[in-house]
Structure 1
Amino acid sequence: MKLNTQILADIFQSNMILPLNKDFKLGGIVNPEEKVTVKFNQQQYQTISDQNGAWQVKINAVSDPKFVATILVEAGDRKQEIENIRFGKVYLLSVQSNIEYRLKDEAHFAQVKTELSEHKYPDLHYYNVPQVDYIDPETGEVKPKEIHLEQWHQVDAENCGYMSAVGFYMIKKMREEGVAGPIAIVDCFKGGTSASVWIKKSDLAGDAELNKKFLDEYHNQIAGKTWADFDRETEEYNQIVNKHNQDLARYLKMHPDTSLSTAKNIVGHTPWPPPARPDLFTRPCGLYETMMSQVKDCVFNGMVWYQGENDTDRAEQYHKLLPLLIHTWRRRLHDPSLPVKLIQLPGYADYPEDSAALIRQVQLQTAKAMPEVDLVSFVDGGEEHNIHPTNKKIVGERLGQIEVGNDYAGTPFVKKCQYSDSKLILTITRCEQLKLNSKTILEVITENRQKQVELTAADLNKNQIVMNLDEKPQEISYAYANFTKEIGLYNELDYPVSPFKIRL
């Protein structure tokens, strides 16, 4: 997709940041089977576009952190030049509302603006991928109609509010931890989306269970309907949402000291999802085609995936959906070892029973099973009845510290579980010394009973939990619930131990 008539894809602009010490790519759309020439750093690269006009070239890595580039691209009688291209660290951030949550809405925004006004945290950058919902296959019309070209920004007090809050705190922490040179994030997200929205259609259809659960259900929902039907259903839904918003605003006005979390628990949550229609961004595979496609020619130092909320009603399929998505994106980006950080969901009470707990378990299992995939838990950052915690500083800084890599690759988790001589021993990896920051309960199920065991400091021995149990457990779990206040088990770096459910 292109929103302009340039040779290069829209994301390739003056003032952009590209990865240092890593071969990178350029690409775009021209005429079918047209020669494209790229001139960069006294070298020339040539290719021929495919039958759809798509082209891509691979450029040799830049190793000089002070190098500032100009790139000239020619196709036919057209030329495009971009300048002030610099090289550093570049990260791709995706997917739904909690990582989309803008810095201007975050709890510490006023402090951030002050610090940026004082020129703290220099040379940080971001680019927001245009949130294209749909492209008409016949006319090429883009929806929403008011979509506009985005540009690369160097973060300052005026523009910082429109970037991902998690992303800002991540790169701020990286700067504080000593990462030199430009650091950039590319924000590619859209609130309210299932992982299925971001997966290639043939990949989703290739699994019978996923095909039935997502593609077949979607096609059944839209079958036999006209555009007039879709518009009528959408209007009815919008009226319901408007009434909900009015009721919520009225309640908050009458109870000004009530938190949004409490108010939503009383008034109700925003009705979701909207009715299915062919041009709605929630359709399976839709944003893979309209948004992910905008970054397909890019190269990144790493990717951050923060999603799962919108799949809690289909949590049983997530063990297939999440690994498939990572495979799909790595293949599309031509980077099979692209490092991926998975943000483990924070607590939130109003999901279907234990569905968020299952999603977290899948996130942990995926990180353990797939190379270069690490878990960054945010389980301690949730709000009971607010799906969008306003404090993103915790997870963002934790993520930044892990990205720097001076300590552990990610969240600590149970690596080994043993029972012998009336002792249960849980060994925690990515940990030298466990500690309890608050009340911490383990659920233990044996053949004859189920009980709760509160951990004490005496149960902790370096990176192990050692408990006296007179009966062999069949199952042991920790924080395995949509929401619990009993998140108290941490390593010495204050990273929370991942929730778990283990059957022995």
Structure 2
Amino acid sequence: MSNLQLDGIYTDKMVVPANKHFYISGHALPKADVSVEIFQQTYQTTADADGVWKVRLLLAEKLTCDIKITSLDEEKTLHQVRSGKVILLTGQSNIEFKFRDDAEYQSEIDHLTLDNTYFYNVPQLEYHDDNLTLPTDLETSTWQVANKETLWEMSDIGYWAAKKLHELNPEEVIGIIDCYKGGTSISSWVPESVLSSDQELVKRFIKPFKEATTGKVQADYDQEFADYNALVDKHNTDLAKFQKENPEVSLSDAKDAVGHTPWPPPMTPTSYLRPNGLFHTMIEQVKNYAFDKIVWYQGENDADNPQVYDIMLRGLVLSWRDLFKDFSVPFLIVQLPGYFDEPKDAWPIIRQHQLEITQKINDVHLVSIADTGEKHNIHPTHKRIAGTRIGEILSDQSYSSTPVVYRQQVLDDKLILSVTSASSLVQRGNAYFLVKQADQWQKRQVRTVGKLIVLDNCQGIQKIRYAYDNYPTCTLFNELGAPVAPFEMEIG
């Protein structure tokens, strides 16, 4: 085995940000000299006592080159390295959802017009021991050209975003880094410092994990999984029987009668669902890379803990910026789409937290897709609208976010709300708010004037809500068709 190793993301055909410093990193013999040559310039460093090394580099726009790394008598070369726009896509299952499963996959492949696009799938490492020993069966990954032969394994959202980026700037090289894991809480994606900083997070995540994994032997875990699998099998059997006996009933109604699939599975010390796990096993795999922007699409699995989502989301943004040593890297937070089958108001609460975090931290922007989604399908197979909207914002040729209500003003008896990211608002049908007056909620129609929302007869209003449902009806859009983000707002 070679003593000179590069971290996994550094392969041929990789894309690095143009005009932004990035690192090449890896391992060598402890205290060994390492040199990196690029465009006939050589950069030197020395591996530390553990053999870890990294070198800081910069590539200008529209460049392609080879990078040669040497240490002692060993040499490695990275071929066809390109500079361009690099996007980190991360989160859970709806951003993990593969392009091959999109309803439009075959028609897109048959008429593919995508060029200058490359992607890298971060290996889904679920656990490593204290010695950072990687499983022998862990699939490795390389940078790939996005074409008819490879796109089946790319993120569906990533494909549509890259397609829009390419349409807007055909000459720009695009690098998509896919880093996601389905079924996960945001608590798995943050470091220990975030969860330990708040007693409510300790109570909801750290203590249950310790209780579930303390004082047990393997036989205990085996029995728990046997019981869990028996519940899943029984659920599947009962659901199939109910559907056969009631063929006219929808899947959602059938699940209401029979119950939903048991989730999550039992917790173990090595479960990928454990607190902080994926921060170490996946995000830290790319800690030395550099990104132009980060897209975070997650929240579905925190429907049981929506009240504390804001603490974890804030912690995620700040801790990742610290890990990447890039304290201003822009984040795009994807506001959840519509989905009915969750506890009442769980998704509206999470959407509100997603909105508020973009208003509290610099260079964090909202991409609302609340006008998309399927009422009883948590994994819609149509993601063109969501991905295209993300791509438009990533392009820097449009608004920096979808429309957001950011200011309130009371004039006479009118409540006037100002909206960002719009030159004019478009109504699709009548637009209604829920309005709280005298501690009572009522439905009230609103109107638009340019990019303002106006509510008449507003005396004594305490709070307003717009599209505040798990599966909302969005009626207000900007001139580009992007929805005004669902929100809740205190008045006064």
Smaller-chain TM-score bracket: over 0.9
| Deviation sequence 1:242-264 (CA, Å, 0-9, x none) | 44445556777888898765665
| Deviation sequence 1:386-435 (CA, Å, 0-9, x none) | 11122111110001011112221111111111224221211112111111
Answer yes or no: is 1:63 the counterpart of 2:60: yes
Alpha-carbon distance between aligned partners in 2 of 1:31 and 1:360, rounded to the nearest angstrom: 48
Q: CA deviation at 1:283?
A: 0.4
Answer yes or no: is 1:122 the counterpart of 2:115: yes
Asked if the contact 1:179/1:404 (under 8 Å) is kept, the reply is: no
| Secondary structure at the counterpart of residue 367 of structure 2 | strand
Alpha-carbon distance between aligned partners in 2 of 1:380 and 1:76, rounded to the nearest angstrom: 58
| Aligned residue identity for 1:21 | N
| Deviation sequence 1:223-277 (CA, Å, 0-9, x none) | 1111221122123223333444455567778888987656655554332111110
| Secondary structure at the counterpart of residue 130 of structure 2 | coil
Answer yes or no: is 1:74 the counterpart of 2:70: yes
Identity %: 38
Asked if the contact 1:7/1:73 (under 8 Å) is kept, the reply is: no
Q: CA deviation at 1:49?
A: 2.4
Asked if the contact 1:308/1:345 (under 8 Å) is kept, the reply is: yes
Q: Which ranges in structure 1 are unaligned for 5 or more consecutive residues?
A: none
Deviates more, 1:234-243 or 1:106-115: 234-243
Q: After TM superposition, list the pairs within 5 Å mapping 1:319-398 onto structure 2.
A: 319-398=310-389
Answer yes or no: is 1:471 the counterpart of 2:459: yes
Answer yes or no: is 1:503 the counterpart of 2:484: no
Out of 273, 281, 294, the position equivalent to 1:290 is 281
Out of 124, 127, 133, the position equivalent to 1:131 is 124
| Aligned residue identity for 2:471 | F
Q: CA deviation at 1:29?
A: 2.3
| Secondary structure at the counterpart of residue 209 of structure 1 | helix
Alpha-carbon distance between aligned partners in 1 of 2:238 and 2:111, rounded to the nearest angstrom: 37
Answer yes or no: is 1:54 the counterpart of 2:52: yes
Q: CA deviation at 1:439?
A: 4.2
| Deviation sequence 1:358-398 (CA, Å, 0-9, x none) | 11111111111111110000101121221112211111000
| Secondary structure at the counterpart of residue 380 of structure 1 | coil
Report the equivalent of 1:493: 480
Alpha-carbon distance between aligned partners in 2 of 1:83 and 1:150, rounded to the nearest angstrom: 16
Asked if the contact 1:304/1:341 (under 8 Å) is kept, the reply is: yes
Alpha-carbon distance between aligned partners in 2 of 1:449 and 1:79, rounded to the nearest angstrom: 72
Asked if the contact 1:330/1:338 (under 8 Å) is kept, the reply is: yes
Q: CA deviation at 1:179?
A: 4.6
Alpha-carbon distance between aligned partners in 2 of 1:448 and 1:286, rounded to the nearest angstrom: 43
Q: CA deviation at 1:442?
A: 0.6
Asked if the contact 2:61/2:84 (under 8 Å) is kept, the reply is: no
| Deviation sequence 1:58-105 (CA, Å, 0-9, x none) | 11x22241x321111123332222211111111100010010001111
Deviates more, 1:278-287 or 1:236-245: 236-245
Compared CA separation, residues 44 and 207, structure 1 to 2 (3 A): farther
Report the equivalent of 2:226: 235
Out of 461, 475, 493, the position equivalent to 2:449 is 461
Report the equivalent of 1:200: 191
Alpha-carbon distance between aligned partners in 2 of 1:139 and 1:444, rounded to the nearest angstrom: 54
| Deviation sequence 1:181-231 (CA, Å, 0-9, x none) | 321100000001111111122343233332332222211221111122112
Compared CA separation, residues 446 and 104, structure 1 to 2 (3 A): same
Compared CA separation, residues 250 and 335, structure 1 to 2 (3 A): farther
| Aligned residue identity for 1:7 | Q
Q: CA deviation at 1:138?
A: 5.8
Report the equivalent of 1:22: 20
Alpha-carbon distance between aligned partners in 2 of 1:141 and 1:97, rounded to the nearest angstrom: 24
Alpha-carbon distance between aligned partners in 2 of 1:126 and 1:198, rounded to the nearest angstrom: 21
Alpha-carbon distance between aligned partners in 1 of 2:409 and 2:29, rounded to the nearest angstrom: 63
Asked if the contact 1:422/1:472 (under 8 Å) is kept, the reply is: no
Asked if the contact 1:265/1:385 (under 8 Å) is kept, the reply is: no
Alpha-carbon distance between aligned partners in 2 of 1:428 and 1:262, rounded to the nearest angstrom: 38
| Secondary structure at the counterpart of residue 481 of structure 1 | coil
| Aligned residue identity for 1:102 | K
TM-score, normalised on structure 2?
0.94
Asked if the contact 1:94/1:189 (under 8 Å) is kept, the reply is: yes
Alpha-carbon distance between aligned partners in 1 of 2:258 and 2:175, rounded to the nearest angstrom: 40
Report the equivalent of 1:219: 210
Asked if the contact 1:444/1:451 (under 8 Å) is kept, the reply is: yes
| Deviation sequence 1:292-330 (CA, Å, 0-9, x none) | 111111111111000111112111111110010011111
Report the equivalent of 1:105: 101
| Secondary structure at the counterpart of residue 347 of structure 2 | helix
Deviates more, 1:226-235 or 1:265-274: 265-274
Alpha-carbon distance between aligned partners in 2 of 1:6 and 1:250, rounded to the nearest angstrom: 58
Asked if the contact 1:25/1:297 (under 8 Å) is kept, the reply is: yes
Report the equivalent of 2:41: 43
Answer yes or no: is 1:416 the counterpart of 2:407: yes
Report the equivalent of 2:292: 301
Q: CA deviation at 1:335?
A: 0.7
Alpha-carbon distance between aligned partners in 2 of 1:436 and 1:4, rounded to the nearest angstrom: 63
Deviates more, 1:32-41 or 1:341-350: 32-41
Alpha-carbon distance between aligned partners in 1 of 2:256 and 2:381, rounded to the nearest angstrom: 16
Alpha-carbon distance between aligned partners in 2 of 1:462 and 1:413, rounded to the nearest angstrom: 14
| Secondary structure at the counterpart of residue 188 of structure 1 | strand
Q: CA deviation at 1:357?
A: 0.7
Q: Which ranges in structure 2 are unaligned for 5 or more consecutive residues?
A: none
Deviates more, 1:235-244 or 1:164-173: 235-244
| Aligned residue identity for 1:123 | N
Asked if the contact 1:262/1:385 (under 8 Å) is kept, the reply is: no
| Aligned residue identity for 2:334 | I
Q: Please provide the CA RMSD for this pair.
A: 2.3
